[in-house]
Amino acid sequence: MPKRIAIYPGTFDPITRGHLDIIRRSLTLFDGLIVAVAGDTSKKPLFSADERISMIKAEIKGHRNIKVESFDGLLINYVRAKNASVIVRGLRVISDFEYEFQMALTNRELAPDIETVFLMTSENYAHISSRFIKEIARLGGGLRAFVTPGVAKRLKRKFKAPKRTEHAKG
Protein backbone atom coordinates (compact mmCIF):
# COMPACT_ATOMS: atom_id res chain seq x y z
CA MET A 1 0.00 0.00 0.00
CA PRO A 2 1.45 3.42 -0.95
CA LYS A 3 2.36 5.85 1.78
CA ARG A 4 0.09 8.82 2.25
CA ILE A 5 2.26 11.95 2.31
CA ALA A 6 0.86 15.32 3.35
CA ILE A 7 2.31 18.79 2.90
CA TYR A 8 1.85 21.46 5.58
CA PRO A 9 2.77 24.73 3.84
CA GLY A 10 3.24 28.12 5.41
CA THR A 11 5.59 30.97 6.13
CA PHE A 12 6.15 29.90 9.76
CA ASP A 13 7.60 33.31 10.62
CA PRO A 14 8.09 32.23 13.38
CA ILE A 15 6.75 28.77 14.12
CA THR A 16 4.20 28.97 16.94
CA ARG A 17 2.75 26.55 19.46
CA GLY A 18 -0.34 26.47 17.20
CA HIS A 19 1.76 25.35 14.21
CA LEU A 20 3.40 22.66 16.34
CA ASP A 21 -0.05 21.45 17.42
CA ILE A 22 -1.10 21.04 13.76
CA ILE A 23 2.19 19.23 12.97
CA ARG A 24 1.79 16.77 15.85
CA ARG A 25 -1.81 16.01 14.95
CA SER A 26 -1.00 15.65 11.24
CA LEU A 27 1.56 13.00 12.08
CA THR A 28 -1.22 10.84 13.54
CA LEU A 29 -3.21 11.06 10.30
CA PHE A 30 -0.57 10.56 7.61
CA ASP A 31 2.38 8.26 6.98
CA GLY A 32 4.65 11.22 6.33
CA LEU A 33 4.54 14.98 6.59
CA ILE A 34 6.56 17.64 4.84
CA VAL A 35 6.54 21.05 6.50
CA ALA A 36 6.98 23.28 3.47
CA VAL A 37 8.36 26.72 4.23
CA ALA A 38 7.35 29.29 1.62
CA GLY A 39 10.46 30.95 0.24
CA ASP A 40 8.91 33.41 -2.17
CA THR A 41 6.09 35.11 -0.38
CA SER A 42 4.40 38.48 -0.69
CA LYS A 43 4.80 38.76 3.08
CA LYS A 44 7.99 40.33 4.35
CA PRO A 45 9.29 37.68 6.76
CA LEU A 46 11.37 38.62 9.78
CA PHE A 47 13.39 35.41 9.45
CA SER A 48 15.03 34.08 6.28
CA ALA A 49 13.78 30.78 4.87
CA ASP A 50 16.93 29.07 6.22
CA GLU A 51 16.32 30.51 9.70
CA ARG A 52 12.69 29.37 9.65
CA ILE A 53 13.71 25.87 8.54
CA SER A 54 16.33 25.72 11.28
CA MET A 55 13.77 26.78 13.91
CA ILE A 56 11.26 24.18 12.77
CA LYS A 57 13.85 21.39 12.69
CA ALA A 58 14.90 22.26 16.24
CA GLU A 59 11.28 22.04 17.37
CA ILE A 60 10.45 18.71 15.73
CA LYS A 61 13.58 16.80 16.73
CA GLY A 62 12.70 13.23 17.53
CA HIS A 63 9.62 13.06 15.33
CA ARG A 64 9.85 10.38 12.68
CA ASN A 65 8.35 10.60 9.21
CA ILE A 66 8.68 14.36 8.96
CA LYS A 67 10.79 16.59 6.72
CA VAL A 68 11.22 20.34 6.60
CA GLU A 69 11.99 22.01 3.28
CA SER A 70 11.54 25.33 1.56
CA PHE A 71 9.67 25.71 -1.68
CA ASP A 72 9.13 28.42 -4.26
CA GLY A 73 6.44 28.71 -6.87
CA LEU A 74 2.99 27.21 -7.07
CA LEU A 75 2.14 24.97 -4.11
CA ILE A 76 0.34 22.43 -6.29
CA ASN A 77 3.50 21.90 -8.37
CA TYR A 78 5.51 21.34 -5.19
CA VAL A 79 2.91 18.87 -3.84
CA ARG A 80 3.04 16.89 -7.07
CA ALA A 81 6.86 16.92 -7.14
CA LYS A 82 6.85 15.39 -3.64
CA ASN A 83 4.31 12.70 -4.61
CA ALA A 84 2.01 13.95 -1.90
CA SER A 85 -1.76 13.71 -2.06
CA VAL A 86 -2.88 16.03 0.73
CA ILE A 87 -2.37 19.64 1.75
CA VAL A 88 -2.84 20.31 5.47
CA ARG A 89 -4.10 23.73 6.48
CA GLY A 90 -4.60 24.91 10.04
CA LEU A 91 -7.60 26.99 11.02
CA ARG A 92 -7.50 29.19 14.10
CA VAL A 93 -10.58 31.35 13.94
CA ILE A 94 -13.60 31.80 11.68
CA SER A 95 -11.91 34.61 9.75
CA ASP A 96 -9.25 32.12 8.54
CA PHE A 97 -11.89 29.92 6.96
CA GLU A 98 -12.98 32.15 4.06
CA TYR A 99 -9.42 32.67 2.79
CA GLU A 100 -8.46 29.02 3.27
CA PHE A 101 -11.66 27.80 1.62
CA GLN A 102 -11.04 29.97 -1.46
CA MET A 103 -7.48 28.70 -1.67
CA ALA A 104 -8.63 25.08 -1.34
CA LEU A 105 -11.19 25.52 -4.12
CA THR A 106 -8.57 27.12 -6.36
CA ASN A 107 -6.15 24.28 -5.66
CA ARG A 108 -8.90 21.75 -6.39
CA GLU A 109 -9.50 23.43 -9.75
CA LEU A 110 -5.77 23.20 -10.54
CA ALA A 111 -5.35 19.67 -9.19
CA PRO A 112 -8.55 17.71 -8.50
CA ASP A 113 -6.50 14.71 -7.33
CA ILE A 114 -4.97 16.61 -4.39
CA GLU A 115 -7.11 17.03 -1.27
CA THR A 116 -6.98 19.81 1.28
CA VAL A 117 -7.55 18.83 4.90
CA PHE A 118 -8.39 21.50 7.46
CA LEU A 119 -7.37 20.96 11.06
CA MET A 120 -8.71 23.24 13.75
CA THR A 121 -5.98 24.25 16.11
CA SER A 122 -6.52 23.42 19.76
CA GLU A 123 -8.50 26.11 21.52
CA ASN A 124 -5.43 26.93 23.65
CA TYR A 125 -3.73 28.27 20.51
CA ALA A 126 -6.60 29.78 18.51
CA HIS A 127 -5.65 33.35 19.42
CA ILE A 128 -2.00 32.98 18.42
CA SER A 129 -0.74 34.56 15.21
CA SER A 130 2.83 35.06 14.04
CA ARG A 131 2.08 38.73 13.37
CA PHE A 132 1.02 39.37 16.98
CA ILE A 133 3.94 37.34 18.33
CA LYS A 134 6.43 39.47 16.40
CA GLU A 135 4.82 42.64 17.75
CA ILE A 136 4.91 41.33 21.33
CA ALA A 137 8.58 40.37 20.89
CA ARG A 138 9.42 43.75 19.37
CA LEU A 139 7.89 45.48 22.39
CA GLY A 140 9.65 43.19 24.87
CA GLY A 141 6.61 41.24 26.05
CA GLY A 142 6.47 37.68 27.36
CA LEU A 143 6.33 34.96 24.73
CA ARG A 144 6.02 31.71 26.72
CA ALA A 145 2.34 31.13 25.92
CA PHE A 146 2.88 31.58 22.19
CA VAL A 147 6.19 29.99 21.22
CA THR A 148 8.71 27.55 22.63
CA PRO A 149 11.75 28.82 24.56
CA GLY A 150 14.03 28.22 21.55
CA VAL A 151 11.86 30.34 19.26
CA ALA A 152 11.48 33.02 21.95
CA LYS A 153 15.26 33.27 22.20
CA ARG A 154 15.57 33.76 18.43
CA LEU A 155 12.86 36.43 18.45
CA LYS A 156 14.55 38.29 21.28
CA ARG A 157 17.84 38.20 19.37
CA LYS A 158 16.15 39.63 16.27
CA PHE A 159 14.62 42.50 18.21
CA LYS A 160 17.56 43.21 20.48
CA ALA A 161 18.09 46.94 20.46
CA PRO A 162 21.50 48.03 19.27
CA LYS A 163 23.66 49.46 22.03
CA ARG A 164 23.93 53.20 21.95
CA THR A 165 27.37 54.67 21.82
CA GLU A 166 28.29 58.03 23.12
CA HIS A 167 29.87 60.25 20.54
CA ALA A 168 32.97 62.07 21.63
CA LYS A 169 32.49 65.78 21.90
CA GLY A 170 34.97 67.73 19.97
Residues annotated catalytic, as ranges: 19, 43, 92, 130
Residues 33, 39, 44, 46, Cα dihedral to 10°: 70
Cβ proximity of 74 and 87 under 8 Å = no
DSSP 8-class letter at 85: -
Cβ proximity of 121 and 90 under 8 Å = yes
Cβ proximity of 35 and 23 under 8 Å = yes
Residues 139, 154, 55, 151, Cα dihedral to 10°: -60
Q: What is the DSSP string of 5-37?
A: EEEEEE--TT--HHHHHHHHHHHHHSSEEEEEE
CA 82 to chain centre: 18
